[in-house]
Structure 1
Amino acid sequence: MTRNAIALGAILAAFAPLALQAQEVTLRLSHWVPPTISPATKGINPWAESVQEASDGRIAVQIFPAQQLGKAPDHYDMAAQGIVDLAYVNPGYTAGRFPIYALTEVPFIADDSVKGAQAIHEWYAEYGAQQEMGDVKVCFVHPHAPGALHSQEDITGPEGIKGKNIRPAHATMARFVSLLGGGPVQVPAPEVREALSKGTAEAVTFPWGAMYDFKLTDEVPVHLDMPFYLSAQVLVMNKASYDGLSDENKAVIDDHCSIEWSGTVAAGWHEDDMAAKAQLMADESQSFNTPTPEEVEAWRAAAAPLIEEWKEAVAAKGGDADAILEGYRAALDKYDAAY
């Protein structure tokens, strides 16, 4: 062995213990979307990468996509019970469990997902997070661009829902479908194409990008072009996992569980949704319907009972529904995200 080789070996040996000590903790993050679509590639993955970078490698985030560790509706409990350290949760998949947060699901209230994400994060931290999600740490809010109604035939007004089976985005949308005389077909996002292809469902409320993410353009080629609803997922962290971190590592997580990060992760998804919408509009096999002002007002009127039902559900849990609703509208106004 040459003298240079010996010297190099000594240097590597000296730094080896430092390399081994650099990574202090590995956090397991579970989500239920395919790893190649925008919620993961433009939101979850960059967030995890930033955590690792900001911690100088002390925190590693191991991602388990596509329901590898559990079904989509189980993800909140997976985090709360410590089965995973971090979980991507759609609160709307568990009807009635998060009545305050369900306000974000009521259609025709918000029309911007990036500003809306910031508004929801700020509002929920004040009005609901401790009451409803107090057994986890809420990291960020992650809505898609306002979703639309995609169907096999024209639906421009609320009367068009009657008699149709529709896959709703979440529990509140399922209730809306029922109020309008339709039949909600509640399956997780990865199972929507099968439901449509088998005729179990005839329409779906989905973000624009989902048309390509889940290969639905042939199944539902007719689109209602209006900001129909939001579905705002949340990333939550097991409290024991957080408490077990060093103060230095807690600071990194705190910096990444913020209003600013909610806007950042939402921006990537919004960008992809808008690109998908433009692609759909350029496709001659796809049809777009823009509702008239009268039809928009009809949709709003049809959704009004959802607010009253929401108030009843919150009041039944001891919440001040009027104050919470006022706080939500104020937050949306503050961030210029109100419809």
Structure 2
Amino acid sequence: MKHLTCAAVALTLATCATLAAPVAAETLKISSYLPPKHAFTLAVEAWGQELSQKTNGDITVEVFPAGQLGPVNRQFDLVTAGAADAAIVLHSATPGRFAMSELAGLPLSHPAAGDLSTISSERLTALAPDYLADEHAGTKIIWMAVTPPLKINLAKVNPDSLEALKGLRIRSAGQVFQSVLETLGASPLPVPPAEVAEGLAKGIVDGAMFPFEADMAFDLGPELDYSLEPGVASATFAFVMSEKTYDGLSPETRAVIDAMSGPARGAAFGAEWDKGENAGRAYLGENDVTIVTLSEAEQDKLQGMVAPIIDAQIAAVGKDNPDAQAFYDAYTQ
């Protein structure tokens, strides 16, 4: 009897100890192909910290920047395959796959309220549930983002007219940017972002299409002499979470994530990107890069040159998605 009593006490103590043991926090892996100091990488790190705080530490987030989990064109697949719980997706990195989303980045196309990322990112995120969910199947869209318009940044050649761009080799990513550059008489080259500085230094490329913020993030200032305004076109992004990961979380955690998603988050991130763009402009100035603004006549000429690209792209996407024109109109209104 004595032995049974001791055994019962031991079992009770063990049970109590088990019940008292803290539940380990769940760690979500976020993939970023961008550098650690890029605005988007910093934004998802801040998002993860906020998520951890609002779940009282039940959820923690680890961000893997600089393509540690995979290259730029594999980010969406990392999420749907379960190799990452969330990722930053550059739509143009996989041509044709996110054709509707990329319409928001067409040349000289932006909401009527302006081309600030604050405005365009909010609008695109708001339209995503109705128009872009199918392209992001298997994921939950946390927010969408549209860069400030990408500028043509050049080493050596002064782009004081569109004619000056003819024959230049310019780094770009995606069909839209390729079409724009070819229309301008330049030769687009698909150089990975991390290799652009070396490409400029060695003369492999004459320039690159990036917003000012990315010029700073990839430290292109020492290799550049000029940057051209206005920006020609934008790149679109999505910050997505695995639907499987999201569905596996507690209702309380899902509610927190829902509150940390949507148009307001797109606008908030866009505002940070706009701040980064201003910082990038200052960075170029510190590196003695001259920012050249096209004359009104040249801007009118540019508008006329890219109009057929816009029409053709909408028509091409419309073959598979009849909502293409409606989406573009809703985005630019």
Shared fold per TM-score greater than 0.5 = yes
TM-score by length of 2: 0.87
Counterpart of 1:50? Answer: 50
Measured in 2, the distance between the counterparts of 1:200 and 1:316 equals 37
Report the AA paired with residue 50 of structure 1.
Answer: E
| Structure 1 segments (4+ residues) deviating >4 Å | 14-19
Cα distance, 1:322 vs. partner? 2.3
**Contact 1:157–1:298 (CA under 8 A) maintained in structure 2:** no
Report the AA paired with residue 249 of structure 1.
Answer: T
Counterpart of 1:316? Answer: 319
The answer to whether 1:145 aligns with 2:148 is yes
Measured in 1, the distance between the counterparts of 2:18 and 2:291 equals 60
Counterpart of 2:190? Answer: 186
Local SS of the residue matching 1:289: strand
| RMSD, aligned CA | 2.1
**Contact 2:105–2:146 (CA under 8 A) maintained in structure 1:** no
Measured in 2, the distance between the counterparts of 1:189 and 1:157 equals 26
Measured in 2, the distance between the counterparts of 1:293 and 1:179 equals 19
Alignment of 1:194-209 (within 5 A): 194-209=198-213
Q: How many residues are aligned here?
A: 313
The answer to whether 1:301 aligns with 2:279 is no
Measured in 1, the distance between the counterparts of 2:290 and 2:277 equals 17
Cα distance, 1:163 vs. partner? 1.1
Distance 1:18 1:33, change over 3 A: farther
Counterpart of 1:288? Answer: 291
**Contact 1:138–1:236 (CA under 8 A) maintained in structure 2:** yes
Cα distance, 1:219 vs. partner? 1.7
- Alignment equivalent of 1:276, drawn from 266, 275, 280: 280
Local SS of the residue matching 1:268: helix
Local SS of the residue matching 1:309: helix
Counterpart of 2:34? Answer: 33
Cα distance, 1:18 vs. partner? 6.4
Local SS of the residue matching 2:212: coil
Local SS of the residue matching 2:317: helix
Distance 1:145 1:16, change over 3 A: farther
The answer to whether 1:61 aligns with 2:52 is no
Cα distance, 1:279 vs. partner? 3.7
Report the AA paired with residue 243 of structure 1.
Answer: D
Structure with higher Rg: it is: 2
- Alignment equivalent of 1:117, drawn from 105, 109, 121: 121
Counterpart of 2:9? Answer: none
> 1:279-302 CA deviation, whole Å, 9 max, x = no partner?
43355x321211111111111111
**Contact 2:216–2:284 (CA under 8 A) maintained in structure 1:** no
TM-score by length of 1: 0.86
